[in-house]
Amino acid sequence: MKSVRLAMMALLTMAGSVLFAQSTKTENIKVAGNCGSCKKKIDKAATITGVTKADWNKDSKVLTVTYDPAKVTNDAIQKSVAGVGYDTEKYKADDKAYNKLDECCQYERKKGK
């Protein structure tokens, strides 16, 4: 009887893990920025409802986000990051938001974005 209970618990644990893994998505997004201060702002801006993890790498300029696609979209995350002054793959930050960034955070912007 004890082994049946143990087997059932193991089966339920595995099933729960599979279901959880399918309910999240991890993606990489290119985000312009320069320094540790940028990292704090980008990570914070990307951590909106539905996002469980956001980590921007200042060397690669890549934001890795893990999120629940039933609650938030990649576009919404990128818009949130652009809203605080950082250009993403799809969205250019508003000039007003960009100009509010600290001088060290004002990266070289690409033309025509």
Task: Say if 30 falls within a structural domain.
Answer: yes
Cβ atoms of 78 and 29 within 8 Å: the answer is yes
Task: Say if 60 falls within a structural domain.
Answer: yes
pTM of the model: 0.79
Kindly report, residue by residue over 10-41, the tens digit of the pLDDT. 666 665 555 555 699 999 999 999 999 999 99
Number of domains in the chain: 1
CATH number at residue 79: 3.30.70.100
Kindly report, residue by residue over 33-91, the tens digit of the pLDDT. 999 999 999 999 999 999 999 999 999 999 999 999 999 999 999 999 999 999 999 99
3-state secondary structure the chain: CHHHHHHHHHHHHHHHHHHHHHCCEEEEEEECCCCHHHHHHHHHHHCCCCEEEEEEECCCCEEEEEECCCCCCHHHHHHHHHHCCCCECCCCCCHHHHHCCCHHHCCCCCCCC
